[in-house]
Amino acid sequence: MNTSAGIAVIAAAATLGDFIWYSVGVRHTMTAGLLHGALLLAVLGAVLGATSGRLVKGLPIGALAGIGGALSYYGLILVMDSRTYGTAIPGAWVIMWLLLATLEGRWLRAPNRRRWSEIAIRGMVAAVAGGLAFAFVRTILWGRPPGEGRNYPRAVCRLGVRVGARSAGAHLGECGSSRERRPRAA
């Protein structure tokens, strides 16, 4: 799978998940958050797996990272900040991307595992890129509703490509993760 197709798949999955939360009125519970994280990140794991020819092996790494990110969020709101969009989100975001980078670099790529320093750098780049993209759309999609109420389809149309950017931006940090480096010709 090429990078553009992977970004499109992840953006579509993120948009569908957000549409369901936003339009169906899913109540924010730990169970819903865990399911959302597992399903959304399973798609990302599948894309990472597909880029390395291991689609099925990629599914559980994404799901585990999604569950780990969601659990860390719920743990952090207990000890740090109980606001829905408080400081627990960035902390959980970093943990989730580090988990994904670790599972991709050590499990998906086995036996050609990445070095721990490379995993840490890739995870942090993905966390920062995705976090910036998320911050860019967060208040538009999940902030205080406008006076006329929420209209998710209209918000998606207005945002265009930016809706998927919160996952696609971070995917850019990870999309090269599964590609083999080719030695340069002398």
pLDDT value at position 4?
Answer: 83
Mean pLDDT by 10 residues, the chain (186 residues): 84 83 82 93 94 92 96 91 76 91 93 94 90 73 64 59 47 47 47
Asked whether the beta carbons of 69 and 93 are under 8 A apart, the reply is: yes
Model-level pTM?
A: 0.75
| CA dist., res. 143 & res. 19, Å (int) | 15
User: Which three-class secondary structure string do you get for 19-87?
Assistant: HHHHHHHCCCCHHHHHHHHHHHHHHHHHHHHHHCCCHHHHHHHHHHHHHHHHHHHHHHHHHCCCCCCCC
Count of positions (residues) in the chain: 186
Within 13 Å, how many C-alpha atoms sit on residue 156's CB side?
A: 15
> CA 10, 167, 42, 106: dihedral to nearest 10 degrees?
120
pLDDT value at position 176?
Answer: 45
* Residue 82: Cβ within 10 Å count: 10
Q: How many helices (H) and strands (E) does the chain have?
A: 7, 0
| CA dist., res. 68 & res. 62, Å (int) | 10
pLDDT value at position 99?
Answer: 95
Ordered by start, the domain boundaries in the chain are: 3-176
pLDDT value at position 159?
Answer: 56
Both tokens of 8, joined, read: 């499109």
